[in-house]
């Protein structure tokens, strides 16, 4: 018997999913053992032009003809946003339908409710496309690496910001110029806030943290910094120091005491590392399992067909295993129960730091700065001093610190901010060596 699929949304991703379901029917049938049928698709505007023309008669403006319809076994939510996507997914699960979604914002913001509803219904809730597009990172964490205690997950999870940072690295352009180029080429939205301020990647990090550690953090507890404050000077220093600047998502066990950390911020990473070579709009994830060692995955993080690849992969998986809900329950996040406790406050996390000061050229400034760092228990690994800027008369001073607690570095920066010798606010970027803990 055929398995009927309904799409909630027929936009960029929905069109790609329809294209694969329509053109690759034979291939998918061979993989599942039964045919899939695209039964219906809900949209707002029946007359809009679509990237792949919908099969005749499938469009409807009433999504509840799909969610809650007993004739449709798999509901694929590709509308985006919180409502009505949330209510539709809940209705589908309550009605015994399996759900596939690409909606990271919804799962990160309302995950508690939605994952619980999936558990209660005993139906599948699959979301491979919600993190890193075509890259099968969810399945890798949930299944391929299930035997592992995961030590860390480092990710480049947003194509827009990676495109901008790659341009700033390669061409020495300013943030504004790189953003304008990304917008011209369609890699950034007209309003890029959601991407450049780190919210999109933070949503994905919430999900990766849950998959790796079995605890679902609240979005607001995940420290997220964007890329808007980065300056070309810091890219030049990164190059000089052997680093590349990336917007790095980290879900990791603290090497000090095993607490779970989840944070997203620009970071200098070694130029020779695999993640440093991920350029343009690509995404990548490096997972370190205690038994597997390092696993590296990379590929297109967005776009019509790459995202549809992940969505249809989920449909195939659900169709193979979820025969009308009679199969044993497979927890959506790969853990039978989620642990309370969330993630630790960013103030309690440790990294090394790059700190750039612009100071007046007078004696005693370096010792005053290093004194302030010392008072907060931060030890300095390296100092670079650049000659006097002929225009401003200021001197650039770069400090690389050893690993230090976030709380302490903030106190040291607060103290030095009051120094009269500073000619501009200090810039700080975390440094991640990404090496195995000693």
204 is an active site residue: yes
Alpha-carbon distance of 175 to 163, in angstroms, equals 11
42 is an interface residue for ligand NAP by CB under 6 A: yes
280 is an interface residue for ligand NAP by CB under 6 A: no
Alpha-carbon distance of 301 to 314, in angstroms, equals 16
10 is an interface residue for ligand NAP by CB under 6 A: yes
Which residue sits closest to ligand NAP, CB atoms considered? Answer: 11
Shortest distance in whole angstroms from residue 387 CB to ligand NAP: 47
Stretch that binds ligand NAP, among 8-16, 112-120, 171-179, 381-389 (CB under 6 A): 8-16
Stretch that binds ligand NAP, among 97-105, 115-123, 137-145, 382-390 (CB under 6 A): 97-105
Q: Find the binder of ligand NAP among 23, 27, 44, 388 (CB under 6 A).
A: 44
- Please pick, among 4, 104, 142, 204, the residue that the annotation labels catalytic: 204
68 is an interface residue for ligand NAP by CB under 6 A: no
Please, which residues have CB within 8 angstroms of residue 264's CB and are 6 or more apart in sequence?
A: 198, 201, 202, 205, 222, 223, 224, 225, 247, 248, 249, 250
Closest to 311 in 3D by CA, of 68, 189, 139, 194? 139
Rg (CA), the chain: 24
12 is an interface residue for ligand NAP by CB under 6 A: yes
Residue 428 bridge partners (DSSP): 355
Rounded to 5°, angle at Cα 75 from 88 and 133: 100
156 is an interface residue for ligand NAP by CB under 6 A: no
Residue 286 bridge partners (DSSP): 154, 296
* Tokens of residue 278, six digits: 């991920």
Shortest distance in whole angstroms from residue 50 CB to ligand NAP: 8
Stretch that binds ligand NAP, among 5-13, 285-293, 320-328, 362-370 (CB under 6 A): 5-13
Q: Give the footprint of ligand NAP on residues 112-141 (CB under 6 A).
A: 129, 133
78 is an interface residue for ligand NAP by CB under 6 A: yes
Q: Find the binder of ligand NAP among 25, 172, 232, 303 (CB under 6 A).
A: 303
Q: Find the binder of ligand NAP among 18, 75, 102, 188 (CB under 6 A).
A: 102
38 versus 269: smaller Cβ distance to ligand NAP: 38
Q: Find the binder of ligand NAP among 25, 55, 84, 96 (CB under 6 A).
A: 84
32 versus 157: smaller Cβ distance to ligand NAP: 157
Please, which residues have CB within 8 angstroms of residue 318's CB and are 6 or more apart in sequence?
A: 74, 98, 100, 124, 126
Alpha-carbon distance of 138 to 141, in angstroms, equals 5
Please, which residues have CB within 8 angstroms of residue 390's CB and are 6 or more apart in sequence?
A: none
60 is an interface residue for ligand NAP by CB under 6 A: no
207 is an interface residue for ligand NAP by CB under 6 A: no
Which residues sit at the interface with ligand NAP, rule CB under 6 A? 9-14, 42-45, 48, 63, 78-80, 84, 102-104, 129, 133, 302-303, 307
State the catalytic residues.
Answer: 204
């Amino acid at each position: 018997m055929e398995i009927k699929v309904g799409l909630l949304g027929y936009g960029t991703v929905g069109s790609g999913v329809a294209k694969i379901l329509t053109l690759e029917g034979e291939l998918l049938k061979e993989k599942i053992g039964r045919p899939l049928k695209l039964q219906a698709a809900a949209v707002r505007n029946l007359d809009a032009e679509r990237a792949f023309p919908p099969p005749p008669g499938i469009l409807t403006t009433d999504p509840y003809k799909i969610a809650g319809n007993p004739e449709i076994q798999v509901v694929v939510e590709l509308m985006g946003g919180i409502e009505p996507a949330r209510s539709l997914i809940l209705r589908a699960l309550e009605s015994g339908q399996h759900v596939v979604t690409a909606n990271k914002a919804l799962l990160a913001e309302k995950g508690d409710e939605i994952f619980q509803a999936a558990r209660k219904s005993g139906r599948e809730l699959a979301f491979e496309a919600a993190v890193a597009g075509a890259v099968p990172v969810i399945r890798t964490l949930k299944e391929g690496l299930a035997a592992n205690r995961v030590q860390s997950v480092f990710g480049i999870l947003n194509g827009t910001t990676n495109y901008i940072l790659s341009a700033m690295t390669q061409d020495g352009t300013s943030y504004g110029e790189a953003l304008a180029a990304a917008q011209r080429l369609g890699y950034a939205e007209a309003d890029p806030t959601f991407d450049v301020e780190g919210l999109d990647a933070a949503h994905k990090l919430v999900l990766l943290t849950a998959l790796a550690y079995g605890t679902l953090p609240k979005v607001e507890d995940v420290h997220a910094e964007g890329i808007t404050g980065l300056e070309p000077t810091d890219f030049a220093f990164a190059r000089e120091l052997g680093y590349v600047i990336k917007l790095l998502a980290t879900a990791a066990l603290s090497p000090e005491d095993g607490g779970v950390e989840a944070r997203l911020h620009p970071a200098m990473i070694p130029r020779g590392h695999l993640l440093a070579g991920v350029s343009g709009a690509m995404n990548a994830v490096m997972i370190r399992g205690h038994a597997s060692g390092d696993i590296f995955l990379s590929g297109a993080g967005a776009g019509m067909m790459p995202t549809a690849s992940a969505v249809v992969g989920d449909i195939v998986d659900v169709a193979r295993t979820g025969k009308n809900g009679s199969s044993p329950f497979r927890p959506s996040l790969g853990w039978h129960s989620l642990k309370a406790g969330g993630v630790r406050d960013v103030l309690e996390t440790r990294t090394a730091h790059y700190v750039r000061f612009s100071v007046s050229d007078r004696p005693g400034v370096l010792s005053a700065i290093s004194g302030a760092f010392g008072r907060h228990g931060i030890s300095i690994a390296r100092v670079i001093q650049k000659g006097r800027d002929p225009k401003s008369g200021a001197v650039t001073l770069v400090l690389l610190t050893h690993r230090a607690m976030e709380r302490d570095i903030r106190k040291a920066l607060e103290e030095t901010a009051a120094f009269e010798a500073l000619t501009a606010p200090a810039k700080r970027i975390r440094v991640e060596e990404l090496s195995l803990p000693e």
